[in-house]
Structure 1
């Protein structure tokens, strides 16, 4: 996931239709949930479907689409929605245009932005649902109904580290808590002079992860109360996490000197060449490195470990490449064809799909393909005990990374970062008409 998503604010400010800023379920009739068995390879000659993708996911469904077209005679055309995808999709939907299928982040904080009760097919009883892993089954739902198929494993948040730097610093055991990790960072700086962390102020979105890892001890009751407007992002735990990131890592000299302007691409290069020891980021960093490095090179240079505030556990962070939704277009033939495509994709085609894409499997019964880097395998193993990031737990996810970017330039204090998150959280949920806001 490259950004926290709170596009409903954008949609409302653009002056879109009232339903774009409402949680109304009006119009969710029987055709919202076509049911019954699906024959994945039934003849669909002459049926044409459209699938919306982001620029970075346009090639992801290629194998599944080509195999489905060959097996059924259907035609699926992909249409790239320009970045920022999460803002432009609601805008286009509000104009009355709908695809048949679309990549979309399958979280309770983001699915509501496309009004699933009105716009999407319910997928509660599809044949692939029971095949998903435990974490994947928890995604893709709103108000007890499934609206998204989970086609790839959610991104996992953890720490990539350079093995040689750790060895030179004498690090022999991975940290068991966030504070342990900071102690190791200080050890690395003292013994090697290498920047312990590589932070990405230039692209902004990765700034949130150091804070996110510290929020993992917050109980579910906090998130339940937050979603009822009985708690706040200005809670002391949140403010303290932001403050620790600023004082211990940024001001404390545990990040590289150019942390304000460094980019995501720079981060991958630095971890691989050893000019930085660690990078706390999600799976997209692995994908970035993998695009320029072989599995053998990655295995030789990189390690990965999970981290939470008081445990060696990871966090999972779904993005738009993980979920696929099917739209209520009013054309029953196309709606059923979309369901058939999802059944094919997550059924007989799934082993070939993940092998072609070198992806971690979302189905326990389907093994991971050979040739994955060890970092990917470690992340897959950590997923079963991972906790969701705040994009999973909160009703909507504030753009904390933008406020943190202001903080690194001295424009906001940690308290003001937390207040900005609270203000945006309230604004979005009030616009959606959520009770209590």
Structure 2
């Protein structure tokens, strides 16, 4: 999904999926590690597999499925799980229904909600694992075991900018820190008619990104302590980040006038037509623009740069389209067929899959397809040194964007936004039975 956030957090707190929210390591039969090498094109005539997808990802595996069916004789049927995907999937699993394969966010904050040790096939020794890039190698694992195949590159967080507006403002070098970017925003406000930033209060989820940029200097020790309940989302660095976003960007006039109600679609239009200079967002914005603009148009009008609090580095934000998990159904034939599908998908079929979906490669040995916009290539290059967003680093991801939406309407202070994140974080981990909470 576009939001790299765990809607499941709310589901657990409300008790909607009590079984699914319990700690995946607490009881249950753990699947034995799959054995033996996989022949990606071995005959599977008569074998039927089911794959769950979200509404927005139902078309993504189409090429891989059709090629696999042709090569093996298997039949793979996709089933759309209604939105919100991240909470409806565990609810359905809790009823005892399992697919063979499923798109799922491959992060330590979201994988646990499907109880991987109990429900999923471990994929530690599959033939495609060593082919993955450095960042992708770190995804898809829980408690030292791999449970997800990484089929697409995680979304990259950075800044899209309108080249003409930057030129009018006299900006010729890209900022190398968050404060540098704010200084450039002030130049844009003084020298052009464009809004320095386009913020998306209407759809809420993009509100988190400017805060996330400022959290990048938090050391790993903070996340380690947070995950042991020895530190808090009310840490001064986080409260200060929320406060700076409110006072400097929103209250400071660096966002467009309708930031409280503007939508994600509006953001794409504004950054292309130059009514806004910058948009802080993940790769989803690029995909949105690609739907209505050619690569040539994008290359002419749009630039992109990575940014962190004190460095010119990007962040990565996995979503459910990045990972595919295989289920322990108890049917050995289907389980091996699911493994075979993943081997085929990430093996001989991978170049064709990338070309059909216009995606960057997660395998360094497989080249990106031709015709991608420059913004996509820049993001792919930045991924190697990118830092994970809090959905990657925290044991569960609070819905900070919802609290930020309350803030822009005067219902919460920055400190209350941080406290809301902490409260939700504690509630979900208590519901999961995590030690220390």
Q: TM tier, shorter chain? A: over 0.9
Shift of 1:57: 0.4
Distance (Å, rounded) in 1 between the aligned partners of 2:91 and 2:12: 6
- For 1:373, the equivalent position in structure 2 comes to 373
Q: Where in structure 1 are there 5+ consecutive unaligned residues?
A: none
The 8 Å contact of residues 23 and 112 in structure 2, kept in 1 or not, is answered as no
Shift of 1:26: 2.4
The 8 Å contact of residues 52 and 101 in structure 1, kept in 2 or not, is answered as yes
Distance (Å, rounded) in 2 between the aligned partners of 1:261 and 1:185: 21
- For 2:129, the equivalent position in structure 1 comes to 129
The 8 Å contact of residues 20 and 90 in structure 2, kept in 1 or not, is answered as no
Task: For residue 21 of structure 1, give the secondary structure of its aligned residue in structure 2.
Answer: coil
User: Considering only aligned residues, what root-mean-square deviation do their CA atoms show, in Å?
Assistant: 1.0
- For 2:152, the equivalent position in structure 1 comes to 152
- For 2:190, the equivalent position in structure 1 comes to 190
Give CA-to-partner distance per residue, 1:62-119, whole Å, 9 cap, x none: 0000000000000000011111111111111111111100000000000001000100
Distance (Å, rounded) in 2 between the aligned partners of 1:265 and 1:82: 22
Give CA-to-partner distance per residue, 1:120-149, whole Å, 9 cap, x none: 000000000000000000000000000000
Give CA-to-partner distance per residue, 1:401-437, whole Å, 9 cap, x none: 0000000000000000000000000000111111110
- For 2:172, the equivalent position in structure 1 comes to 172
Distance (Å, rounded) in 2 between the aligned partners of 1:87 and 1:46: 33
- For 1:26, the equivalent position in structure 2 comes to 27
The 8 Å contact of residues 32 and 120 in structure 1, kept in 2 or not, is answered as no
- For 1:207, the equivalent position in structure 2 comes to 207
- For 2:259, the equivalent position in structure 1 comes to 259
After TM superposition, the structure 1 stretch with the greater mean CA deviation from structure 2, 63-72 or 87-96, is 87-96
Task: For residue 20 of structure 1, give the secondary structure of its aligned residue in structure 2.
Answer: coil
- For 1:86, the equivalent position in structure 2 comes to 86
- Length-normalised TM-score, structure 2: 0.98
Distance (Å, rounded) in 2 between the aligned partners of 1:17 and 1:241: 33
* Counterpart mapping for 1:413-432 below 5 A: 413-432=413-432
Distance (Å, rounded) in 2 between the aligned partners of 1:366 and 1:12: 42
Give CA-to-partner distance per residue, 1:38-73, whole Å, 9 cap, x none: 000010000000000001100000000000000000
- For 1:236, the equivalent position in structure 2 comes to 236
The 8 Å contact of residues 177 and 311 in structure 1, kept in 2 or not, is answered as yes
* Counterpart mapping for 1:211-360 below 5 A: 211-360=211-360
Shift of 1:399: 0.2
Measured at CA, do residues 434 and 297 of structure 1 come closer, stay the same or move farther in structure 2, by a change above 3 Å? same
Task: For residue 324 of structure 1, give the secondary structure of its aligned residue in structure 2.
Answer: strand
Shift of 1:12: 5.5
Distance (Å, rounded) in 2 between the aligned partners of 1:192 and 1:257: 15
Give CA-to-partner distance per residue, 1:233-289, whole Å, 9 cap, x none: 000000000000000000000000000000000000000000000000000000000
Task: For residue 375 of structure 2, give the secondary structure of its aligned residue in structure 1.
Answer: helix
Measured at CA, do residues 411 and 145 of structure 1 come closer, stay the same or move farther in structure 2, by a change above 3 Å? same
Q: Where in structure 2 are there 5+ consecutive unaligned residues?
A: none
Distance (Å, rounded) in 1 between the aligned partners of 2:356 and 2:402: 36
Shift of 1:23: 3.3
Q: 4+ residue stretches of structure 1 with deviation over 3 A?
A: 14-20
Measured at CA, do residues 264 and 273 of structure 1 come closer, stay the same or move farther in structure 2, by a change above 3 Å? same
- For 1:13, the equivalent position in structure 2 comes to 14
The 8 Å contact of residues 23 and 434 in structure 1, kept in 2 or not, is answered as no
